[in-house]
Chain A
Amino acid sequence: MIVRFVGFGGQGIVLSSYILGLSAVLDGKRVVQNQSYGSESRGGECRGDVIISDQEIYELEPTGHDVLVAMTQPGYEKLVVSLKPEGTLIVDSDLVIPDAGLSPPGIRTYSIRATELASKKFGRKIVANMVILGYMNSLLSLVTVESLEKVISQSVPDGTQELNVKAMLEGIQLAMKDS
């Protein structure tokens, strides 16, 4: 399973991929996490890839992805082509409008209002990535919720653990409503 997150620096893209990766490690999977970002500390294009497998991983920079989580329009437009047939696209609908002409045929698209939900429910749109993480995991059962909770708690700044875990759980709720 190859998951790619794309957005701009500051949205927690690399953090999301780190959390997903470490959660899978805790679940006993083989994992390679890879990231790329511009030299800007905020605002540049930012990517995080996670490869999760039961077997040894030989390809460190995969060319096709099973899941793309896009949190910016340019990121979506640039990378949606690398989704495998029958892949899953998850976008923050406040930030990305999927284009039927661009997305490869056969993929499943989920548009969720993560940023709006994060800011309305928690007053902090910065936790939109956690909403998406919970949503995606509920949809695809990549890792156990227990590992996800544990890793979020140890990976986010002190004092924000509860907020981040709640936002992830909110994402799970949302996915359950959608399905």
Chain B
Amino acid sequence: MIDKSRIQYLEQLWSRTHFLLGDEACAYGAIYAGCDFFAGYPITPASEVAELLAAELPKAGGLCVQMEDELASIGAIIGASWTGARVMTATSGPGFSLMQENIGYAIMTETPCVIVDVQRSGPSTGQATKPAQGDVMQARWGTHGDHEIMAFAPSSAQECFDLMFDCFDLADIYRTPVIMLMDGEIGHIRESVTMLEPSTVKRASRKKAEPGEDLFGGPELVPGVMHYGEGASIHVTGSTHLPNGMRDVTTPRVHDELVRRLYRKIDENREKIIRVETDISTGGNARIGVISYGATARPAYGAVKAARAEGRDVDFLRLITVWPFAREQVTDFARNLDFILVPEMNLGQISREIQRFADCEVISVSKIGGVPHSIDEIYQAIMEAMR
């Protein structure tokens, strides 16, 4: 059910020509995808997400609050989610670090929410205004304890817009936090963005529990939900709990069943969650492949095209879903290859993951320092590997 004021807002928005920063495209995508509540704290290079939502979200019938810090921001969206709202926050590395504990809380309490991390060069304050992809493993394992997580990496301003639909829908379908893993490069380039006609927008919704039904367990991997104000007594806790939500932190079986179910509800639905894009060279004889994601996928693909123009067969795979990891797709992609090159703006975080599932040699083409790879740098790495 899309709110009337939202429809009116989108009607006057969609048909214009949009030339947007990735951050702005992400914010508009959130409004389109039905974000009702945003709470955040400004930080380069994510501030434009909050800036745009502060100006626009109220016009679309939503609410935007600047909180005192990132801990409060994620706390606010988790609380708001339990009223049935679609919720989001946006930050960068230092703020993302502060949010980790509550990301775990959202996982454990099965609270749908979207966390945008526009990655910048770290650790710590690092190069505050420079892009990086150093939070990939933090997105996976930043919060403690066993868990699965979803994260998406856009490679264009258009994809910053488009992927917000996936983020909000998957958060609702699987009752879990979803991470929009942008980078400062994509967040701060401006490109043309096409929006959808509002009447064609489809949104998933949370499965509703029947009165008296358990909200934190039961026969399904994803239990139905009731929200505050809908008549149920709800106990929401980050401690290990029974299907009815009440704490039981001592019975091994209760913890085992709960945490395994939280893991399985994402792991067993990988097929529905994972999206990759592949471009296999026409010759079909490639011995070498390139896998990349986010901003780095752009020059990586440019380098693949340049190598092909020289008559070299090179395959290409772009991870759109970074987590859960596209292990079957990577295994398949690697099947006839001798080498896979993995350009990324970190010291090889995804290349090691690829090595786990690829039966060939994996070469990390890492770069840090705040300047993205050039096409030529990746092209040279391809030529080097071919020698």
Residues of A within 8 A of B (CB): 18, 21-22, 25-26, 30-36, 39, 57-63
Contact = CB atoms under 8 A, between A and B. Distances in A.
B374 A18 contact: no
Contact of A32 (B189, B305, B371, B375): B189
A24 B337 CA distance: 41
Nearest to B186: A60
Given A59-B302, A60-B299, A32 B190 contact: yes
Contacts of B188: 34-35
B86 to A, nearest CB: 30
10 contacts: A18-B19, A25-B19, A32-B190, A33-B19, A34-B190, A35-B190, A58-B298, A58-B303, A60-B372, A61-B372
Contact of A22 (B19, B129, B185): B19
A33 B156 CA distance: 12
Q: Contact size class for B? A: 20 to 34
A34 B302 contact: no
A22 B21 CA distance: 12
B298 A59 contact: yes
Contacts of A31: 19, 190-192
Nearest to B377: A63
Given A22-B19, A26-B17, A58 B299 contact: yes
Given A22-B19, A33-B19, A61 B191 contact: no
B90 interface: no
Interface of B: 17, 19, 129, 185, 188-192, 295, 298-299, 301-303, 305, 371-372, 374-376
A63 B371 CA distance: 11
Contacts of A26: 17
Nearest to A155: B19
A25 B17 CA distance: 8
Which of A22, A34, A39, A61 has most B Cβ within 10 Å?
A61
Given A31-B190, A34-B189, 8 more contacts: A31-B191, A32-B191, A35-B188, A36-B129, A58-B299, A59-B298, A59-B375, A60-B295
Q: Which 7 pairs between the two chains have the least Cβ-Cβ distance? A: A58-B302, A33-B190, A22-B19, A25-B192, A58-B298, A59-B375, A34-B189
Contact of B298 (A18, A60, A63): A60
B185, B192, B303 pick with most chain A CB within 10 angstroms: B192
B185 A61 contact: yes
B373 to A, nearest CB: 9
Contacts of B372: 60-61
A83 B258 CA distance: 60
Contacts of A39: 129
A34 B190 CA distance: 6
A61 B301 CA distance: 15
Contacts of B189: 32-34, 60
Nearest to B157: A32
Nearest to B304: A58
